[in-house]
Amino acid sequence: MSHSVTTVNPYTLKNIKTYQVQSKEDVMKALDKSDKAFQKWKLVEIEEKTELLYKVAEILEAKKHDFALLMTQEMGKPISESIAEIEKCMSLCDFYAANAESFLSDDIIETEAYESFISYDPLGTILAVMPWNYPFWQVFRFALPNLTAGNTALLKHASNVTGCALAIQDIFIEAGYPKDVFQTLVAPHETIEELIKNDKLKAVTLTGSEKAGKSIAEQCGNLLKKTVLELGGNNACIVLSDADLDKYLDEMVSARFQNTGQSCIAAKRFIVTEGIYDSFIDQFTKKVRALKIGNPEENDTKISILARPDLAETLKQQIDSSVKAGAHVLFGNDVLDAYFAPTILTNVSPEMSVFKEETFGPVAAIIKVKDEDEAYALATNSRFGLGTMVFTENIEAARKKIIDIPDGAFFINSMVKSDPRLPFGGTKASGYGRELSKEGMLEFLNVKTVLINK
């Protein structure tokens, strides 16, 4: 077992920093400290906790460019998107600072008793297993509501963003959170399995692959521990014949190519009705060709390196097998190490890899359909259930489809995205449970019935 982890800049291929991996004993000590910290932290008044959120936001603002650069250097995200990610974390601080007290306040229920109400109580220490693609946002959307609700947190981040993981721990310390309320673990998966078995750990949230989600769910299921899983996505973007391309085409391009396509909620399958197909292909291709490719540290770069070379290899295999099955490469499909050119595939059908599987990179699969009915039928033909988007001028017709979309989100004339004010999560192979909003804050709380008679 390796005793250190070295982060590498995927664009320059230069080593950034080497970190010591914690021993099993160190990780178990961290859990003990977290459990002890919880006994005091759960008693801290909500006003004090929300004040700390404002301090976190201040630190994020003051060091925004430093954190953004760290993110870009560790996983290759274009710097403009890294800055936007830090700003989104700041908006999350503001949201929970403004709303946590009302979300967590007792719900008075009228019964025959003298008094009855629902109390929302923290569970204890929660483990978060987090991915590299949004290194700050994914962690903050777990940590802020849970810490504010009175839980304590242990973070196991992806090893290629270890610098981000430790920077986040430092942010909470600098903001004034009590020692050990939030701790980053630099530890291998085997140690994390041992951690999960310990009774002091109360629940686990994971954002990552379906395979990792199943493994965590199995472990926690055997121990009857609560989990929230945010897994892969294979979102459909339906483009109906009456869609306003002039107004929404940039949004459709962003829906696929933001974060160099490395997003679970990206539009991965474009299902386009024949009445608008030729126009869509022409305009979409022009927009994709115009995306600036290059150094992620340059402000105008839109597409850069993938986070690791193996991601490019997987993407290439998915495309090659789809082309063998009859897909056409309209544009792109150039690969060099971890670089993958923006790619457009047409003549895609449901049995192909790029239709069935999650493609984690800048590849748009386009499917031509006869009409709206066929479009919706293909959109819901997926093992995944994270989100569906439709572009149309007929809002009322789209509204009637809400009940037919089995996903966690349905966006009309907008790309699927996360927003602090709205719950986020999936169904089917995309996982279960919700993050963000009030729903996300309540996931790891004991919804306790209290009844009092005189």
Using DSSP, state whether 361 is helix, strand or coil. coil
- Rounded distance between C-alpha atoms, residue 19 and residue 260, angstroms: 27
- Rounded distance between C-alpha atoms, residue 64 and residue 62, angstroms: 6
Using DSSP, state whether 395 is helix, strand or coil. helix
Is beta strand 152-157 parallel, antiparallel or unpaired with respect to 182-185?
parallel
Question: What residue type is assigned to position 234 of the chain?
Answer: N
CA angle 81, 87, 91 (to 5 degrees): 135
Using DSSP, state whether 335 is helix, strand or coil. strand
Q: From the candidates 74, 81, 85, 230, which is the catalytic residue?
A: 230
* 8 Å CB contact between 31 and 24: no
145 is written with which tokens? 């509501």
Specify whether 230 is catalytic.
Answer: yes
- Rounded distance between C-alpha atoms, residue 163 and residue 66, angstroms: 12
Nearest to 240 by CA among 265, 285, 274, 283: 274
CB neighbour list of residue 49: distance below 8 Å, 6 or more residues apart: 100, 147, 148, 150
- Rounded distance between C-alpha atoms, residue 219 and residue 127, angstroms: 13
* 8 Å CB contact between 239 and 267: no
* 8 Å CB contact between 232 and 224: no
Our CA dihedral for 114, 118, 124, 130, rounded to 10 degrees, sits at 180
282 is written with which tokens? 């022409």
234 is written with which tokens? 């294979």
Nearest to 137 by CA among 181, 79, 174, 91: 91
Using DSSP, state whether 36 is helix, strand or coil. helix
- Rounded distance between C-alpha atoms, residue 168 and residue 135, angstroms: 9
Question: Which uninterrupted H or E stretch holds 268?
Answer: strand 267-273
Is beta strand 267-273 parallel, antiparallel or unpaired with respect to 235-239?
parallel
Q: How far is CA 235 from CA 104, 244, 357, 380, 426, in A?
A: 33, 20, 10, 9, 11
- Rounded distance between C-alpha atoms, residue 352 and residue 363, angstroms: 14
Tell me which residues are annotated as active site: 230
